[in-house]
Amino acid sequence: MVSIVVGGHYGDEGKGKIISYLALKDNPDVIARAGVGPNAGHTVYKNGRKYGLRMIPCGFVNDSPRLLIGAGVLVDPQTFLAEVGETDTGNRIGIDKRCAIITDKHKQDDVKDKHLKTTIGSTGTGCGPANAERAHRTIQLAQDIPSLKGFLTDVPKELNDALSSGKKILVEGTQGFCLSLFYGTYPFVTSKDTSASMMAADVGLGPTKITRVYAVFKAYMSRVGSGPFATELDERRAKVPLWKRLLENAKVKGIKGRNPNEIMAEYFNEKGTVTGRLRRVGDFDMELAKYSCMVNGATDVAVTCVDKLFPACFKVRAYDQLSEDAKAYLKNIEQAMGVPTTLISTGPDAEDIIDLRA
């Protein structure tokens, strides 16, 4: 059985939280990280400590599974080795020998290049320049780096062998559908496709091997960096339901005369995990989400941060205990998507979740 978790919108949907729950609840034998590379930051908690992981699979919160990084993923050796130490996962993590390597030069280029840094609003982590060099076929691979020697493996072989012997696999996607190089808001996108098929290819699993695809959405939407955001809150749209709810909850002081988006970011505590930049915030975009479910082939939808929109739902762990307005909001999403919402997240801890899976 193979499950893939992908971001449904612009990244930072709380994939980290959903993956940590699945890692603990479903107890997969192997957890593999896919996606672009260290431009992604997944937030997870283990024993009360917060981790913003950029290389290590966030499924590490479960101490047992084998952890892998697929060949499609760019590896920054410094970040990888630092996180291996921080998470104490050296004895169970492997990286594919064909992962491409991010160097200091890629990072410098990402920051120096005005187009990437300013226009696109890249994370500055070297991923764009590294993928460009990878396509140019001059990049170094993990097998060329002495400090990575002890971690090298053949990820597709490990995963397909595990599958053949009936083991459970969890694949962690990164970024979000709207950041896809193919399907996102080009040119304001990342340097690779971000859909579930890409994640499967990243780790070397063929399309016929995938059992379940979880598309993760926040109850509202956020975007870090530049680019179109149709439902973004701004002055002109100040009467949309989300904005009204914020005013009703009135947790933010000094609203008058301030930029609504800044207030929203503050209210929702929306700051980029990798860059610390304030995230832009907006309403849930049904059409976009539906399209995202279609291309991802989603079998399940997970909705996170329901408690931020409906504070009465904070840490609720049973569907019946959700407030009526939250239930109606979630039903609306489910009907529009045509995909069952099977996971509802009501707080940052792995256990703050309502699991409606059969």
Q: Which stretch binds ligand GTP (CB under 6 A): 11-19, 76-84, 142-150, 249-257?
A: 11-19
Distances (CA, A) of 176 to 242, 257, 299, 324: 22, 32, 17, 29
How far apart are the C-alpha atoms of 344 and 160, rounded to whole Å? 31
Tokens encoding 297:
């082939």
42 is a catalytic site residue: yes
Among 41, 57, 129, 184, binds ligand GTP (CB under 6 A): 41
Residues 23 and 232: their CA atoms lie apart, in Å, by 33
Nearer to ligand IMP, 225 or 348 (CB): 225
Residue 273 touching ligand GTP (CB under 6 A): yes
Q: Please report, as residue ranges, which positions from 156 to 195 form the binding site for ligand IMP (by CB under 6 A).
A: 174-175, 179, 188, 190-191
In whole angstroms, give the CA distance from residue 149 to residue 103.
17
- Gap between the Cα atoms of 96 and 158, Å rounded: 10
Q: Which residue is nearest to ligand IMP (CB)?
A: 225
308 binds ligand GTP (CB under 6 A): yes
Per CB under 5 A, 41 contacts Mg ion: yes
CB of 32 to Mg ion, least distance (A): 18
Q: Which stretch binds ligand GTP (CB under 6 A): 6-14, 71-79, 119-127, 330-338?
A: 6-14
The binding track of 125-144 with respect to ligand IMP, each residue x by CB under 6 A or -, is x-xx----------------
Which of the choices ligand GTP, Mg ion, ligand IMP, none does residue 125 contact, using the CB cut-off of 5 to 8 A by kind?
A: ligand IMP
Residues 73-102 within binding reach of ligand GTP (CB under 6 A): none
DSSP per-residue codes, 20-34: HHHHHHT--SEEEE-
Q: If binding is defined by CB under 6 A, does position 38 make contact with ligand GTP? A: no
Q: Does 122 bind ligand IMP (CB under 6 A)?
A: yes
Joined tokens for residue 356: 């409606």
H-state helical runs in 117-221: 127-136, 155-164, 196-203
Catalytic residue status for 96: no
Q: Which of 9, 26, 42, 352 is an active site residue?
A: 42
Q: Is 307 exposed, middle or buried (0-12, 13-18, 19+ CB in 10 A)?
A: buried
Closest CA to 83 of 33, 145, 154, 27: 33
> Which window, 64-72, 96-104, 122-130, 333-341, contacts ligand IMP (CB under 6 A)?
122-130
265 binds, among Mg ion, ligand GTP, ligand IMP, none (CB under 5 to 8 A by kind): none
Of Mg ion, ligand GTP, ligand IMP, none, which one sits near residue 131, judging by CB under 5 to 8 A according to partner kind? Answer: none
What is the rounded CA–CA span in Å between residue 276 and residue 289? Answer: 26
Looking at the Cβ atoms of 190 and 342, the one nearer to ligand IMP is: 190
Nearest residue (CB) to ligand IMP, 188 versus 243: 188
Does position 222 interact with Mg ion (CB under 5 A)? The reply is no
Nearest CA to 342 among 35, 7, 22, 24? 22
Rounded Cα distance between 353 and 326, Å, is 14
Which residues, including other chains, have CB under 8 Å from residue 23's CB and lie 6 or more apart? Answer: 31, 58, 59, 60, 61, 62, 65, 170
**Known catalytic residues?**
12, 42
Residues that bind ligand IMP (CB under 6 A): 11-12, 36, 39-40, 120-123, 125, 127-128, 174-175, 179, 188, 190-191, 224-226
